[in-house]
Amino acid sequence: MKVAVFSTKAYDRQFLEAANSPQQHDLVFFEPRLSRDTAILAAGFPAVCAFVHDQVDASTLEILASHGTRLIALRCAGFNNVDLKTAADLGITVVRVPAYSPYGVAEHAVGLILSLNRKIHRAYNRVRDGNFSLDKLLGFNLNGRTVGIIGTGKIGLILGQIMKGFGCHLLAYDVFHNPELAAIGGKYVELPELFANSDIISLHCPLTEETHHLINEKAIAQMKPGIMIINTSRGALINTQAVIEGLKSGQIGYLGVDVYEQESELFFEDLSDEIIQDDVFQYLTTFPNVLITGHQAFFTEEALRNISDTTISNITDIEQGRPCHNEIRAQPQAGNKVLAK
C-alpha cells in the first residue's frame, strides 16, 4: 500500500523503514504536519500515517477522501485530534497504536517525581557553576508518602508498582478498577478523597470531554498544601491558568509535566533561536518548582520499535482485508468517568 507519512523526523523514518522491510509498503515521508493546508500532499495515497499533533479534522479528512485516501493509521495512542464521525461518513478507516511505551511513560513520571523532589535539575546547574551549596535543595523521603494515581490502565499500574517499591501508599481513581493494582495494595477512592490525601498526584487518563481540565481551581483547592502534580498523559487534563495560580499561592508545591495543552505549536520542534510567543508557557518556565519536558516520556527505543511494528501491522491488516483490533470508531461517551489509558 502507498502510505503518506506526515510529521516525520529522522527517528520515525529509521524505525518505520525497519518495521516495513518484510511488508514492503511504499512509504513516502513528509516533514510537515498533516492539516487542511498540507493534505493535498497525500493525493493518490490510499493510506495516511499521522501523529499526535496532526490535524485530522473534518476539512482535512474531506480533502484526503476526495483524493483517494481510505485509511488513517495513527502512530500514537491518542485520537482526540481525529474527527471520527466525519471519517466514518467518508468511508475512512482509522487505526491506532493503543499501547507502546507503558514502562517508558511510567518511568519518566518517576523521573519527574525524583527530579522535582530532590531538585536534581537545579543541583546539576549549580554544580556546573561551581556552586556546591545545599541551600534550597531539601527534599523528602518517598517512603511512606501517598501517591494518587488517576487512570489505572497499563501506565498507571506500572507507576503504582514502581512507587510501591519506594514504600509509598497508593490511592487510585478510575471507572474500571484494575485488580492488579488492588493486589499490590492500591485503594480505589473517589476524586475528592484522592485529592485530599495524596502527597503526589500523577495523571494517566485519556483526554475526553469529561476529563478536560480535570485539574482545575476547585480540584486544586481540595488538595494538600504543597501537593506535587505530575502529568505525562494529555496536556489539557490540566487547566494551566489554575495551576499557575496554585503555584503562586503555594498550594501546589511541585509541578512536573511532559505535556501542555497548547503544545502543538511548541513540542517536537527546535525553537531555540526563536522568540516563543506563548506567554503562559514562558511564565511556567520561570517557576523554580516546575519541571517541563517536551513530550518525551514515550521516547525510548522499545517504544519507537513497538509504534512502528504496530503501525505497519495495522496497515497490512487493512490492506489484506483482515480484522484489525486497533481500529477505532466514533461512539457516544457514557457518563462523567475517567477511562484507563
Is 213 labeled as catalytic in the residue annotation?
A: no
Is 234 labeled as catalytic in the residue annotation?
A: yes
Length of the chain counted residue by residue: 341
**Pair 162, 106: CB distance under 8 Å:** yes
DSSP 125-144: HHHHTT----TT------TT
Which residue of the set 145, 295, 301, 325 is catalytic? 295
Which residue of the set 53, 108, 234, 261 is catalytic? 234
Question: Which amino acid is located at 317 in the chain?
Answer: D
Which residue of the set 96, 263, 274, 322 is catalytic? 263
Question: Which amino acid is located at 159 in the chain?
Answer: L
Residues with Cβ < 8 Å from 160, sequence gap 6 or more?
147, 149, 152, 170, 172, 181, 184, 186
Is 145 labeled as catalytic in the residue annotation?
A: no
Distances from the Cα of 331 to the Cα of 84, 88, 90, 139, 328, angstroms: 9, 11, 16, 46, 9
Residues with Cβ < 8 Å from 198, sequence gap 6 or more?
146, 147, 148, 171, 223, 224, 227
C-alpha radius of gyration, the chain, whole number = 21
Active-site residue list = 234, 263, 295
